[in-house]
Amino acid sequence: MHPIVHAQARPDHPALIMASSGETVTYGELDAYANRFAQLMRARGLGRGDHVAILMENSPHYLQMVWGAQRSGIMMVPISTRLTAPEICYILQDSDTKLLLTSTYFDDVLGDIRGECPDIPMLIAGGEGDESLEDALAAQPAEPIADQLPGQYMLYSSGTTGRPKGVRPAPPADDDIQAVNPLVGLAVMGAGMPADGSMVYLSPAPLYHAAPLGWCTTAHRLGGTVVVMEKFDPESALATIEKYKVTDSQWVPTHFVRMLKLEPEQREGYDLSSHQRALHAAAPCPVPIKREMIEWWGPIINEYYAGSEGIGMTLIKAEDWLDHPGSVGKAIHGTLHVCDENGEEVPAGHDGLLYFENDLIPTYHNDPEKTREAMHPKGWMTLGDIGHVDEDGYLYLTDRKSHMIISGGVNIYPQEIENLLVTHDKVMDAAVIGAPCPDFGEKVVAVVQPMDMGEAGDGLEAELRDFLAPSLAKIKMPKLFDFRPDLPREANGKLYKRELRDEYLAMAEEQTEQA
Quick one: pLDDT at residue 515?
A: 59
**Which pLDDT band, with edges at 50, 70 and 90, does 473 fall under?**
confident
Residue 338 pairs in a beta bridge with 354
**Which pLDDT band, with edges at 50, 70 and 90, does 162 fall under?**
low
Which has the closest alpha carbon to 484: 418, 435, 427?
427
414-440 mean pLDDT: 90
Three-class SS state of 54: strand
Quick one: pLDDT at residue 502?
A: 86
Distance CA 105, CA 282 (A): 27
Each residue's pLDDT tens digit, 15-61: 999 999 999 999 999 999 999 999 999 999 999 999 999 999 999 99
Three-class SS state of 508: helix
381 DSSP assignment: E
Quick one: pLDDT at residue 157?
A: 80
Cα–Cα separations (whole angstroms), residue 220 to 16, 202, 235, 310: 9, 12, 26, 20
193-206 mean pLDDT: 95
Domains present along the chain, CATH in parentheses: 28-169 (3.40.50.980), 404-509 (3.30.300.30)
Each residue's pLDDT tens digit, 208-246: 998 999 999 999 999 999 999 999 999 999 999 999 999
- Return the number of other C-beta atoms located less than 10 Å from residue 365's C-beta: 21
Each residue's pLDDT tens digit, 276-323: 999 998 777 889 999 999 999 999 999 999 988 989 999 999 999 999
Residue 382 pairs in a beta bridge with 355
For the cut 90, the answer to whether the pLDDT of residue 190 exceeds it is no
Confirm if 286 and 422 have CB atoms less than 8 A apart: yes
For the cut 80, the answer to whether the pLDDT of residue 492 exceeds it is no
Distance CA 175, CA 464 (A): 56
Share the mean pLDDT of the chain. 93
Q: Which residue has the higher pLDDT, 1 or 154?
A: 154
Quick one: pLDDT at residue 348?
A: 96
The burial class, CB within 10 Å (0-12 / 13-18 / 19+), for 317 is middle
**Which pLDDT band, with edges at 50, 70 and 90, does 159 fall under?**
low
- Return the number of other C-beta atoms located less than 10 Å from residue 251's C-beta: 25
Each residue's pLDDT tens digit, 65-124: 999 999 999 999 999 998 889 999 999 999 999 999 999 999 999 999 999 999 999 999
Distance CA 37, CA 61 (A): 10
For the cut 60, the answer to whether the pLDDT of residue 160 exceeds it is no
184-201 mean pLDDT: 92
130-149 mean pLDDT: 97
For the cut 80, the answer to whether the pLDDT of residue 158 exceeds it is no
Quick one: pLDDT at residue 439?
A: 76
Cα–Cα separations (whole angstroms), residue 457 to 216, 359, 419, 462, 472: 43, 53, 21, 9, 21
Quick one: pLDDT at residue 321?
A: 97
Each residue's pLDDT tens digit, 328-347: 999 999 999 999 999 999 99
